[in-house]
Structure 1
Amino acid sequence: MQREPAAESPYLRVRRERGYTVLEFAGEIDISAAAEIAPLLDAATEEPGARVVIDLGGIEFFDCSGLRLLYRARGRVLDRGGDLRLVCTHRLTLRVLRVTGLSRLLPPSPSLETALSRPRAASGSR
């Protein structure tokens, strides 16, 4: 059963594009924002075979709370046989993704178009 994505927040816009649920993060993603985003992210990643793109194009700040959201989303999607893609061009966030090793598990794309065009293995394996 396909459901509509959950409601939005000031930190997250949820929409559908080409069969993917696109989660567009915005603003400062810190512990407060992450607490608001987490239930929306869980709703978007709960279905078996979910196809999800997380787009960080609208962020201004991204701390370890945001990293936990990405890692959680990845685990949930992979556990359910789905596909997760990431869009990120924010220089400091890309650096944090590389330093933590998350960029190897969830390779960032430079645009939504690139992410949607990537082969299925974009979300890595366990």
Structure 2
Amino acid sequence: MPRETPPPIRYVRVYRTSGRTVVELHGAIDIAAALHLTPELDAVTDGPNSSVVIDLTPVEFMDCSGLRLLCRARLRVEEGEGQLTLVCPQPMIRKMLRITDLSRLFTLAAGLDEALGRHASAS
């Protein structure tokens, strides 16, 4: 009997609030997820003056594919002279960013309110 293909998993939710686009990532961000997420993140980070928050709060696991995805988003936002903030409350993901020295390249926030508040007070 042929196995039925499971429905695609939603790894991302995108919405606008406080003048920013929030990209909320979910689950395990590995090579399989990155294949689905790249077009979604490219659409959000396309264009000038993008103001993007990537919320990693619901992320359970992230490997180097996830880090590459974040770096790609950061580069695209910077090329468009925009602003990118990562919401990253998980100690293990923060540790990965610190060990790889990527923490110095990203604006990190412990929660979404902090990320949105930081932007509002900077305006």
Answer yes or no: same fold by TM over 0.5.
Answer: yes
Residue identity matched to 2:33: A
Match of 2:16?
Answer: 16
Aligned residue number for residue 116 of structure 1: 116
Query: For residue 32 of structure 2, what is the aligned residue in structure 1?
Result: 32
For 1:29-108, what aligned pairs fall within 5 Å after superposition?
29-108=29-108
CA deviation map 1:77-123 (0-9, x unaligned): 00001110110011111100000111111032101111112258x9x
Give the TM-score of the pair, scaled to structure 1: 0.85
Segment drifting more, 13-22 vs 111-120: 111-120
Larger Rg: 1 or 2? Answer: 2
- SS of 2:59 mapped into structure 1: strand
Superposition RMSD on alpha carbons, in Å? 1.5
Q: d(CA) in 2 for partners of 1:119 and 1:39?
A: 25
Residue-pair matches, total: 113
Name the CA distance, whole Å, in 1 between partners of 2:37 and 2:105: 21
Q: How far apart, CA to CA, are the structure 1 residues paired with 2:89 and 2:63?
A: 15
Could you tell me how far apart the structure 2 residues matched to 1:48 and 1:96 are?
A: 29
Unaligned runs of 5+ in 2: 1-8
Separation (CA, whole Å) in 2 of partners of 1:22 and 1:84:
10
Return 5+ residue gaps in structure 1 as ranges.
Answer: 1-8
2: CA distance, partners of 1:30 / 1:81: 28
Aligned to 1:4: none
Q: Which runs of 4+ in 1 moved over 4 A?
A: none
AA in 1 matched with 2:88: C
TM-score w.r.t. the length of structure 2 is 0.87
**1:23-77: per-residue Cα shift (whole Å, max 9, x none)?**
0000000000000000000000002111000000001100001100110011000
Rounded to whole Å, the distance in 2 between the matches of 1:72 and 1:37 is 11
